[in-house]
Amino acid sequence: MKKQCVLIVDDDHAIVDSTALYLESEGFCVVKAYDGLEALRCLEEKEIHLIILDIMMPHLDGIKATLKIRESKNIPIILVSAKSEDADKILGLTIGADDYVTKPFNPLELVARAKSQLRRYTMLGTMVPAKNEVVQIGGLVVDTEGKTVSVDGNEVRLTPTEYGILELLCKNPNRVFSTEEIYRRVWNEEIVVNDRTIAVHIRRIREKIEINPKEPKYLKVVWGLGYKIQKD
């Protein structure tokens, strides 16, 4: 089986090298870059399945690099930063990152998060055959084989994490999922997640599938309990 390739981007060479050792020991192919511009060049030249991207870098920082990557690619991105404030995490998730890790991090946890993201990304591709199923709720259509989403005939681009959440909810319309259950079912991990992480992903999905995200037709919050897809 072809190895999955992880792009590690950080201007600290020691962090890049140590992270690469852990990933390579788990059987991953690793590509190294040391700023955002070099990362973009690697994406043009190589087949990359996951990006571990530091925020504070010269030439092109991780935030701007993520925005650029999301213009054309939906591969999972894990942002890494020395900043631990919720505002920074929310910003990273809002612009399209799938996960966020704070320095100093436990390399084993980072590898676990990488594996989780790669499993979901692989399931979105052609490497894992899926049963052909189209879920339609009003004008919202989720094709679970093609892993595509459309609203009123217009295709909607989602990140792997966003798609995983939406597919889970659409397959179980009117059922309320707590943030803990969404994380367990979509991430398939027991890693503790901040409730606001799920909230940011939900907000981004709403912005993409709802005509008026402030008055959602499909993706509803059930206060104190969780989230659901409304099917009348």
Domain topology for 134-229: Arc Repressor Mutant, subunit A (1.10.10)
pLDDT confidence band for 126 (50 / 70 / 90): very low
- Which tens digit of pLDDT belongs to each residue from 80-122? 988 766 677 778 888 888 888 888 888 898 998 898 888 877 6
Q: Which of 179, 182, 184 has the alpha carbon at shortest distance from 194?
A: 179
Report whether pLDDT(130) > 60.
no
Q: What is the pLDDT of residue 15?
A: 93
Instruction: Name the DSSP letter for residue 138.
Output: T
Q: What percent of the chain stands above pLDDT 70?
A: 90
Q: Which DSSP string do the residues of 100-118 spell out, in sequence order?
A: EEESS--HHHHHHHHHHHH
Where b means 16+ CB within 10 Å and e means fewer, 24-50 reads eeeebbbbbbbbbbbbbebbeeeebbb
Of 3.40.50.2300, 3.40.50.300, 3.40.1190.20, 3.40.50.150, which CATH number belongs to 5-124? 3.40.50.2300
- Which tens digit of pLDDT belongs to each residue from 183-215? 888 876 655 555 578 888 999 999 999 999 889
Report whether pLDDT(11) > 50.
yes
| CATH 1.10.10.10 domain extents, the chain | 134-229
- Which tens digit of pLDDT belongs to each residue from 47-63? 999 999 999 898 899 99
| CATH 3.40.50.2300 domain extents, the chain | 5-124
Q: Which of 157, 173, 168 has the alpha carbon at shortest distance from 205?
A: 157
